[in-house]
Structure 1
Amino acid sequence: MMKFKKPNQHGAWAMIIMPVLFGMFASQFNVYQLLFFAAWFMIFFFIDNVLFYVKQRKKNFAYIKGSLLFLTIAIVLLIPVVLYDYRILLFFAAMLPFGAINLYFASKRNERHLLNDFSAITIFSIAGLLSYFIGEGQFDTKMIYIFLISFLYFVGTTFYVKTMIREKKNIKYKYISYSYHLIGLILAFIVHPLIGVAFIPSLMRAVAFYGKQMKPMKIGIVEIANAVFITVFVGIFITQYLN
């Protein structure tokens, strides 16, 4: 018998999708990118189920069986991609140390630790680089933009969500979130006005919603809307000015 854990965090869907899209926007389209995109979803489901199993007090091996199904599908999807360019394995190798950190915090049932969040964000940001590399087949300065935009956006989201849920009574996180979003917005405008515009709603919601009682579902819906907004403007910047 197999069991599957359904991802219940809205932010996880954004982290799966956005960096990969950024990588695709910045590169020449390649059908292997679509195979990787599909495989990336399967890899996420595999890892999510493994971490869920690890943090259980009473282990249910059915989740491992379910995770192995996702892993098998991912491998089948990735075989053509690896045959196309075996160097993509370097990106997966780069993810492993951060995956080990996530595994450690899952075993300690402390997945809300900032280091755990940053490690996960790094993995998803590397996926954006992988997506770009499949299309371009080379390492170049565009990868810096792809990685940093993804990483910095999701770090801001992490601080914001903590001020709304887990750390909503911790004044320290309020000022960290405010400062981070303000400095990030200034730097975004320095990079390009389109990037600056993309990050305006992030600062607005960090300030406007702080201290308000909002259900996790509503917070998630707002984050999805913000993620779509950023993806559109970053996509325009990448396709029109970065390429």
Structure 2
Amino acid sequence: MPPQHGAWAMLLLPFLAALTVTGPHPLHLPLLGAALAGYPLSYFGLQAVKTGRIRRVRPHLVGYGLATVALGTPVLVARPATLAYAPIFVALAAVNAGYARRRRDRAFVNDLAFVAQCGLLGLVVATVAEVPWTNVAGVTVVALGYLVGTVVHVKTMIRERDSVRYRWVSWTYHAVVAVAAALWAPVPVAVVFAVLLARAVLLAGRRVAPMRVGLVETACALLVLAAVAL
């Protein structure tokens, strides 16, 4: 399995947030399975691009590739409209591949490309349920607002812990989003983004084990999902 444990929460949050609007549909189950298989397929594919050693990850590519196709095919057959998202996913995957090729897979823009793919998954949830994607636009924006913030915040805790610039970027971003939520979002969402701003200010630069950082961000993702559900 990919060692990037936080990616699973990033993948699931937009999906589950969209479900709070559309309600469950039988096709959501294979869609979720395809997404859960597609992420490690993408991860090991990018590892092959990065290292040039396809043989090392070939079993992973075959196994996860077959699982993704098997689970995704019923969704595509039943809802061919979901193919409209394919060009966007391909373009974002190309961004990831470009950064992997240059061995810059930790770059901020590369992370944003992955976040955008997770957000698109929320729109696919709506299309699969035959609900207009505009119906889930609000909860998707909330989920993306959190995910972009967590990318910046985690960098201030680990890779860019000593960077004053990254701290100010994180604080400014979280402050702007918190103000926007206070002005336009429902009260539960506004409260959660105020909490996220506080955690960004209080924890930036502290020496905290990566696992604890991940646990905190998982708890924050659950708070965002609860606020959306309310």
TM-score tier, shorter chain, comes to over 0.9
Q: Is the 8 A contact 1:10 1:223 kept in 2?
A: no
- Ranges in structure 1 where 5+ consecutive residues have no aligned partner: 1-5, 237-243
Alignment map for 1:1-243 (pairs within 5 Å): 6-56=1-51, 59-140=53-134, 142-190=135-183, 191-236=185-230
Q: Partners of 1:200 and 1:10 in 2: how far apart? A: 25
Task: Give the total of aligned pairs.
Answer: 229
Instruction: Go from structure 1 to structure 2 and tell me whether the alpha carbon gap of 1:96 and 1:60 turns closer, same or farther (over 3 Å shift).
Output: closer
**Over 4 Å off, 4+ runs:** none
> 2:39 is matched by which residue type in structure 1?
F
Q: Partners of 1:11 and 1:39 in 2: how far apart? A: 18
Shift of 1:129: 0.7
Calculate percent identity across the aligned residue pairs.
Answer: 26
TM-score (norm 1): 0.89
Q: Is the 8 A contact 1:121 1:154 kept in 2?
A: yes
Segment of structure 1 superposing worse, 194-203 or 37-46: 194-203
Shift of 1:149: 1.5
For the residue of structure 1 that corresponds to 2:193, the secondary structure is helix
Q: Is the 8 A contact 2:181 2:190 kept in 1?
A: yes
TM-score (norm 2): 0.94
- Ranges in structure 2 where 5+ consecutive residues have no aligned partner: none
The RMSD of aligned alpha carbons is 1.5
- Deviation per CA, 1:42-99, whole angstroms, max 9, x where unpaired? 0111001111222226x15131331121111111112221121101111232211010
